[in-house]
C-alpha cells in the first residue's frame, strides 16, 4: 500500500514514518510511505510556498502553484485528501476503509490554510482529526498514517489484536492487566486467572458493554443499546448498566 504525504515540513513526517511499527512496515515492503517537500518545486530564490491572503486579514496562505506542480510531478495515489478542520472526521471506520484500499495521499496545510483552488480543483476530499485547530496538517497526517498503517494486513505482529480493540464493533475495549497478579494490594479480576477461556471472553464482552454504555453514550446509542442475550451476560458477572457511571465497570471484577 502506498501513502504519499505532501508537506512543507518533510523531515517531521519522514522521521515519524521511519520509527517503530511504521518504519518496520516500510522496511519490510508492506507500506510504501513517500514524503514530498512542497518547497522543492518552488522556483523563486526564496522557495516561497506562501503569500498574503487576497481581501486582507492576518497570516499567510499556502499557494496553489507549488501544490499543483508537486501533484503533477509525483502523481500521488488517489484519493488525495487535504487535511483541515472542516473535513470529514477521521475515525476507526475510515481507518479500516483506507487500510483496505490500494493507497491514498495526504496534503498538509499550514498558516491560515490552503488557496481554495486546490480544494476545488485538485483534491478529492478533506479529512479532519477532530474539532480543534492545529498549526499544520503534519500531526494530522501522522495520526492517519499510524491509525491506517497498523491495520494494513501483516503490519501488526498479532493479527487478531485489531479485531477486539476499541471501536472494532462499536464498543470500547475491556480492561487489560499484566503481571504481577497482585500489585500494591490490588488484585487482577479473578476470572482472568481462571484459565476458563469461555468465561474470560464473556467477562471481557460484558466489560466492553458496561464501559461503552457509561463512557460513550454516543457509541452506545449508535449500536442500539443492549442486544438480545446481553442482559444475561451482564448478570453472569453481577453487572448492570445502572448505578454510578465510569468507575463501576472497572471496579467490578
Question: Which one of 108, 155, 213, 234 is in contact with ligand SAH (CB under 6 A)?
Answer: 108
Q: Which stretch binds ligand SAH (CB under 6 A): 9-17, 94-102, 103-111, 196-204?
A: 103-111
**189 contacts ligand SAH (rule: CB under 6 A):** no
CB of 62 to ligand SAH, least distance (A): 7
Which residues, including other chains, have CB under 8 Å from residue 70's CB and lie 6 or more apart?
6, 36, 38, 40, 41
CB of 238 to ligand SAH, least distance (A): 42
How far apart, in whole angstroms, are the C-alpha atoms of residue 104 and residue 121?
Answer: 17
Question: Which one of 10, 66, 76, 84 is in contact with ligand SAH (CB under 6 A)?
Answer: 84
**149 contacts ligand SAH (rule: CB under 6 A):** no
Residues in 16-55 that interact with ligand SAH by CB under 6 A: none
DSSP codes, 161-204 = GGTSSTTTTSSPPPP---S-SEETTEEPPGGGGS--HHHHHHHH
**136 contacts ligand SAH (rule: CB under 6 A):** yes
CB of 128 to ligand SAH, least distance (A): 4
Q: Which stretch binds ligand SAH (CB under 6 A): 50-58, 136-144, 201-209, 245-253?
A: 136-144
**67 contacts ligand SAH (rule: CB under 6 A):** no
Which residues, including other chains, have CB under 8 Å from residue 29's CB and lie 6 or more apart?
none
Which residues, including other chains, have CB under 8 Å from residue 241's CB and lie 6 or more apart?
209, 210, 213, 214, 226, 234
Which residues, including other chains, have CB under 8 Å from residue 227's CB and lie 6 or more apart?
none
Coil, helix or strand for 59? coil
Helices (H), 61-102: 64-74, 92-99
Q: Which stretch binds ligand SAH (CB under 6 A): 7-15, 33-41, 132-140, 175-183?
A: 132-140
CB of 139 to ligand SAH, least distance (A): 8
Which residue, judged by CB position, is nearest to ligand SAH in the bound state?
A: 109
Binding residues (CB under 6 A) for ligand SAH: these are: 83-86, 108-110, 112-114, 128-130, 132-134, 136-137, 140
Amino acid at each position: 500500500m502506498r501513502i504519499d504525504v505532501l508537506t512543507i515540513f518533510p523531515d517531521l513526517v519522514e522521521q515519524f514514518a521511519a520509527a517503530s511499527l511504521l518504519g518496520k512496515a516500510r522496511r519490510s515492503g508492506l507500506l510504501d510511505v513517500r514524503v514530498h517537500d512542497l518547497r522543492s518545486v518552488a522556483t523563486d530564490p526564496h522557495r516561497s510556498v506562501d503569500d498574503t491572503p487576497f481581501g486582507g486579514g492576518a497570516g499567510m496562505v499556502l499557494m496553489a502553484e507549488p501544490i499543483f506542480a508537486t501533484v503533477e510531478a509525483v502523481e500521488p495515489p488517489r484519493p488525495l485528501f487535504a487535511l483541515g478542520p472542516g473535513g470529514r472526521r477521521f475515525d476507526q471506520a475510515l481507518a479500516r476503509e483506507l487500510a483496505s484500499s490500494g493507497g491514498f495521499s495526504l496534503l498538509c496545510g499550514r498558516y491560515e490554510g490552503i488557496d481554495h483552488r486546490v480544494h476545488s480543483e485538485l483534491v478529492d476530499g478533506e479529512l479532519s482529526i477532530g474539532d480543534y485547530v492545529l498549526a499544520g496538517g503534519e500531526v494530522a497526517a501522522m495520526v492517519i498514517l499510524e491509525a491506517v498503517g497498523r491495520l494494513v494486513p501483516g503490519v501488526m505482529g498479532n493479527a487478531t489484536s485489531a479485531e477486539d480493540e476499541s471501536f472494532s464493533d462499536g464498543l470500547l475495549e475491556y480492561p487489560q492487566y499484566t503481571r504481577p497478579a497482585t500489585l500494591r494490594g490490588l488484585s487482577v479480576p479473578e476470572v482472568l486467572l481462571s484459565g476458563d477461556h469461555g468465561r474470560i471472553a464473556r467477562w471481557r464482552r460484558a466489560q466492553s458493554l458496561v464501559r461503552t454504555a457509561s463512557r460513550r453514550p454516543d457509541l452506545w446509542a449508535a449500536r442500539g443499546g443492549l442486544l438480545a442475550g446481553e442482559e444475561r451476560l451482564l448478570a453472569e458477572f453481577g453487572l448492570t448498566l445502572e448505578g454510578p457511571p465510569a468507575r463501576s465497570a472497572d471496579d467490578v471484577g
